[in-house]
A = this chain, B = another copy of it.
Amino acid sequence: MGETASSIVTAAVLVIGDEILSGRTKDKNSGYIADVLTAVGIDLREVRVVPDIEAEIVAAVNALRKRYDYLFTTGGIGPTHDDITAESVAKAFGVPIAVDPRARAMLLTRIAEKDLNEARLRMARVPQGAELIANKISAAPGFNIGNVYVMAGVPAVMQVMLDEVIPTLRTGAKLLSVSIDTGLREGDLGTPYGEIQKQHPDVMMGSYPFFNEKGFFTRLVLRARDAEKLSTAQRDVEAMVERLRAEKKAAV
C-alpha cells in the first residue's frame, strides 16, 4: 500500500498444543503477541494452531518461516513426552538436536544437579546453531534458530521470553491507527465508507460492528503508516459520519 518493502516487517505465530484445539486451554498467547508486535511496528500476518504431531509442526514451521520475516512459536518445550517442539523445529531446519551446555547451565541455576534427571534434561536440548532465549521465571530457556523464535506455552513464561526477544528484532514503520465511534449501524454507512476507502488507498479502513442493550453500532478503525494520510482520511470519515447522523435525525 505505497510503503517501501523494507519499512514493512512481517510475522506469524504458531501455537502448538492439543489442549488448545480441544478447548481445554484457551490460547492467550497469540493475542498477547499480536499486541506487542503491533506496538513495535511488526505486522502479524497469520496465526496457526496445530496439534502435538511432529509432521504437522514441521510442515507449519517450514510454511510460515519461509513466508514471513519472523515466526514465533508457543508451547511444547517442557520435559514430558508430548513436548516435541524442539525436535520438530530441528527437523524443519534439517539439523541435529542435542543437550546444549549453556542451556544445561541455565537449568542448574534453578534445579539441583541431583534433580536434573532425564526428563528435565530434555529442556536443555536445542537444535544445532540455535541461540538461547532466557527464561526469568523457570530457567528452562526458549531458543532462536534462523528467523524462528521458540517460546514456552505458559503465558507468563512466554511473556518474559518475548521481552528478551523483542529488542533484538528488526522493526518496521509503525502502523498508526484511529478509532471512530459512529453511533450508526454498519448498513447505514457501508456504501459511502467504501467510497472513501477507494479515495484513500494507503489507509486501511476497517469496520467493526457490535451490539449492546441499546442496539447495533459500528466502530470504524483507520490504519496507516503515514500520519498525514491518516488524518486526511480521518477528516473525510468524520465528515461522512456527521452527515449520516444528521440525515438519520432528520428522517426520524
Contact = CB atoms under 8 A, between A and B. Distances in A.
A202 to B, nearest CB: 15
Interface string A187-225: 111110110010000001111111100001000010100
B82 A211 contact: no
A21 interface: yes
Given A117-B187, A186-B119, A197-B81, A47 B18 contact: no
Contacts of A127: none
A242 interface: no
A186 B81 contact: no
Given A187-B120, A209-B154, A80 B194 contact: yes
A223 B177 CA distance: 45
B190 A154 contact: no
Interface residues of A, number: 70
A49 B30 contact: yes
Interface in A1-56: 15, 18-27, 30-32, 34-38, 43-52, 56
B50 A38 contact: no
Nearest to A36: B23
Contacts of A115: 187
B18 A78 contact: no
- By secondary structure, the A interface counts as mixed
Given A81-B190, A120-B187, A189-B119, A47 B21 contact: yes
Interface of A: 15, 18-27, 30-32, 34-38, 43-52, 56, 78-83, 111, 115, 117-120, 122-123, 137-138, 154, 156, 175, 177, 186-191, 193-194, 197, 204-211, 216, 221, 223
Given A20-B31, A138-B211, 15 more contacts: A18-B223, A21-B46, A23-B32, A23-B34, A23-B35, A45-B51, A80-B186, A80-B207, A81-B194, A81-B205, A111-B187, A117-B191, A119-B186, A137-B211, A138-B216
6 contacts: A22-B223, A23-B31, A26-B31, A46-B56, A47-B47, A47-B48
The 10 closest A-B pairs by CB, nearest first: A119-B190, A23-B34, A81-B194, A23-B35, A120-B187, A80-B207, A47-B49, A79-B190, A26-B31, A80-B190
